[in-house]
Structure 1
Amino acid sequence: MTDITGTVTKIDGHANLVILRRFAATADEVWRELTESALLERWIGRWEGDPRSGHVTFYMTAEAEDAPPAEYTIHECDRPRRFAGDTAPDAGGWHLWFELAEDSPGDTVLTFGQRLDVGDDVGSIGPGWEYYLDRLVAARAGVDVATVDWDDYFPALQPAYERLVAAD
């Protein structure tokens, strides 16, 4: 990957990193990839717990095998349209969200976002989400996610993301 696909935009008065991906799938199919633990684990991690309680524990299995779990609070879950939640403060306190929209049957756009706080390292955050979302694309396509190489994203995309935030 050589170019960034993310933008920074104001939403409800807060800067948000926003990245789009398009899938030849229904919104419900993409929703499952983003919310069902077994499918999520193929490209980023898994969760445990009861999401109906509004809280789950997330394990970032695409990182190190011993990565510490993060508590996650679910604020919005409107299948298959919108999801929003926060990681616990000790896991960065990130507010993450996504929306799915079918442009036509079987053609879905994922809009993924992270609210940015002052001091957030967007030079790392942006390339990280590009990497993970491309792993999602690979998993959906039946391609080995290991073919998505972190070195193609970081530090390669870091300067462009830093410029993006500096221009905001």
Structure 2
Amino acid sequence: MTTKEETEFDVIGEVPICTRCGSERVVTDAWACWNREAGFWELETHFDQAYCRTCEQETQLEWVRPKGPENGRLRDLNDAFRTEGQGRGSVFVTNGVSAMGTDFVARALAAVRDFDSFSEDNDPWSEHDFGAFELEGHKLFWKIDPYDLDLQAHSPNPANAAVTHRVLTLMLASEY
């Protein structure tokens, strides 16, 4: 048996694939525990045996970070929170931004809501969780971090709104 501590399957954003064909259509025997608050099964551990439904044979699992549209759910949740305030979350403005005055803060938050300059350079995982822009001669950064509901650790699944509290931080680049 392989435990969570002995594998990399707890790395957020990675998925198991078949080592033969690269398919994500793999199954494995596992232990799961029902999470009443979240309303879904949480994987506790999985066993060494795995089967690929594409190859139709036993396989070994490899954990990889998917490319492109697989992060669509996470991206959509981040965008909904950032642009419309939808979902569970908090917005923090650093002291430096706050010191610029309430009108500046309002314009900066509007720029965060309107931000759409995502590229491979500033958003390599297509999660829409970071942005940089200039406002009135000041360089600003914003970042969305997904926390658990108690704000004690990283969310166990940032693509699941039921277990994630998003924290958007707006700062001057000089405060980074």
TM-score band (shorter)? under 0.3
Q: Name the TM-score, length of structure 2 as normaliser.
A: 0.26
Q: Name the TM-score, length of structure 1 as normaliser.
A: 0.26
- Answer 1 or 2: which has greater helix percent: 1
